[in-house]
Structure 1
């Protein structure tokens, strides 16, 4: 079977393991953003859910127990420390995940995908800010030299909404059930602990990664601390 020429990465600004995985991938492959197709993944609002339903698509991930939720919070903090990364827990109050994820799609259209991604994860995981709020989105866009007005208007842009629906529909078609999730041809890799496996399959002639991720299999996907129902890693 012929491999796809470019891998797909499904990521979420909500998931700390997505943040950690992309950090590691970029450390090993500095031009990773240029060589992989990025698909944002999030808990959709009613409008996006309806658009997905019209296409016969939905999300595959299942809710997790409260005990597992809090274990993952502790584990992520530990892993960030091992990687030498500062981390602050964000507190999400009624988060509207369309805003950061659709704003990122808008930034990608404007050629500012990487700096806007960096600004958002810095706000969320380094400073514990709520990236689902207009003020934080505006600051992140300004930092990334991306028009804040375009970032704010992304959920109201029909073309950006459709692109977001395409991303979630692709996740459904690719059987994505947790984040981060990498797909390259027939190969699929779920979670931070599979990053090294992906790199070995994708770049078999490259030097081995700098070190193991050290993430137990059972905690390969997770969620940040928030005030909604403890659950999936979307």
Structure 2
């Protein structure tokens, strides 16, 4: 029996990036379908989040994400550009955001086609793996095609159905909160939320209890 799970994910979240490749590998190895549920990052949902946090929060988070990547052997470089336009000194979020809406809508459009997990992994590798100008040239087109998506159809959907995609993204956020958490990455399996890139082994343990089988 194929098990089902939902992965709530943000393209701006470094921890989402550090988790998604491992969840993709899990789905490739075992008989489980992991549906991607993209959400907008806190910088969009709660623009004052960074201003309200302890002054040490950002420095610790940056240190931690780098060592997690080193520990797991995951390529990691600062995003060029950051999916969110933000003044890192003041932590102020810019009103104009040219990247995050487009890429999140792409992720949701890919999820409609059952390709969300693969697409998000390929794009996250560009953003957080250190690709220069990931938003330019053929980077995203190549990621879409590697994911089995039609690039022209994908970009057309993002432009023509932005409102519908945003409604689905909002519904994803509501479903995440209804599951018992609010942050990403969170994988929900059998109604149980597992938050963080450090819960993957626990997810596997729980799935094994439910009869997880190798492909």
TM-score calculated relative to the size of structure 2: 0.70
Contact 1:9 1:181 in 2 (8 A): yes
Following superposition, the deviation at residue 196 of structure 1 comes to: 1.5
Aligned to 1:177: 182
- Give unmatched runs, 5+ long, in structure 1: 50-58, 208-234
Q: Cα RMSD over matched residues?
A: 3.3
- The structure carrying a bigger strand percent of its residues is 2
Deviation readout 1:105-152 (Å, 9 max, x if unpaired): 212334543442233112101124565x4x36x531234223444444
Contact 1:77 1:87 in 2 (8 A): yes
Contact 2:15 2:185 in 1 (8 A): yes
Deviation readout 1:5-58 (Å, 9 max, x if unpaired): 622221111111112222223334425796123211223898xx7xxxxxxxxx
Q: Identify if the C-alpha distance between structure 1 residues 190 and 62 changes in structure 2 by more than 3 Å, giving closer, same or farther.
A: farther
Choose from 180, 187, 190 the match for 2:192. Answer: 187
Alpha-carbon distance in structure 2 between the residues aligned to 1:175 and 1:62:
20
Aligned to 1:213: none
- Give unmatched runs, 5+ long, in structure 2: 86-96
Alpha-carbon distance in structure 1 between the residues aligned to 2:31 and 2:103:
18
SS of equivalent residue, structure 2 residue 28: coil
Deviation readout 1:72-130 (Å, 9 max, x if unpaired): 11111111112112211114252442211111121233454344223311210112456
Contact 1:99 1:152 in 2 (8 A): no
Kindly tell me the number of residue pairs found equivalent between the two proteins. Answer: 188
Q: Identify if the C-alpha distance between structure 1 residues 155 and 191 changes in structure 2 by more than 3 Å, giving closer, same or farther.
A: farther
Alpha-carbon distance in structure 1 between the residues aligned to 2:33 and 2:182:
23
